[in-house]
Amino acid sequence: MALGFMPISRALRGLATRPGPRDSVVTHEQYHGSAAVPRTKGVRPTTRVVDPPQLHDDMPVTDVAFVSGGPMPFEETHVMKHALCAVEAKAAYKGNRDRAQVEASDFIWLRTFWPQAGYTGEPGPIRQRLAKDLNRHPRLRPPKRRARR
């Protein structure tokens, strides 16, 4: 069973050098074309639902699919936290050294610099929706000085 309507909500922080975030984005994956991820021999098509170059959106949303038996041939590691929601079918997902079974409507929050990979043995494709902070970085603060004794 596939997941239907999926609202994604988050607080946005504006940048002085960029236009502010839009109030909302309403779209559908069918409005966007898909493309194969390099080095995957076509078994991992992606659809950019909210495109990363749109800096005012602050959060790209991508549908990632694996055709039946299609693995991620490499572990990915991202420099930012991101969310993943399974949209359709079941898969085995590896995060760091842990493995988990995911299926439609399961949600995963992935940490920074966390090696990850996935595999599906289902007869049809698995689809997952990925959202991440692509255009923002954590605010850096100087370290607090400890009092000397």
**Which of 1-5, 80-84, 96-100, 115-119 has the highest mean predicted lDDT (pLDDT)?**
96-100
Distance CA 5, CA 87 (A): 10
Distance CA 8, CA 59 (A): 10
- E strands along the chain, which residues? 34-36, 45-50, 61-66, 82-88, 90-95, 98-103, 107-110, 116-119, 126-132
- Say if CB 144 and CB 94 are below 8 A apart: no
- Say if CB 52 and CB 118 are below 8 A apart: no
Torsion of CA 7, 91, 125, 121, to 10 degrees: -170
Q: What pTM value is reported for the model?
A: 0.63
Distance CA 131, CA 63 (A): 9
Please give the pLDDT value at position 6.
61
If one compares 86 and 3, the residue with the highest pLDDT of the two is 86
Q: How much is the mean pLDDT over the chain?
A: 73
- Give the number of C-alpha atoms closer than 13 A to the C-alpha of residue 103, restricted to the C-beta side: 5
Please give the pLDDT value at position 1.
47
In CATH terms, 32-132 corresponds, of 3.30.70.100, 2.60.120.10, 3.10.20.600, 3.40.1500.10, to 2.60.120.10
Residue 134 has pLDDT above 50, yes or no: yes
Residue 139 has pLDDT above 60, yes or no: no
pLDDT digits (tens, 9 = 90+) for 44-97: 788 888 776 666 666 777 888 877 766 666 788 877 777 777 887 787 878 788
pLDDT digits (tens, 9 = 90+) for 14-23: 566 666 666 6
What is the residue extent of each domain of the chain?
32-132
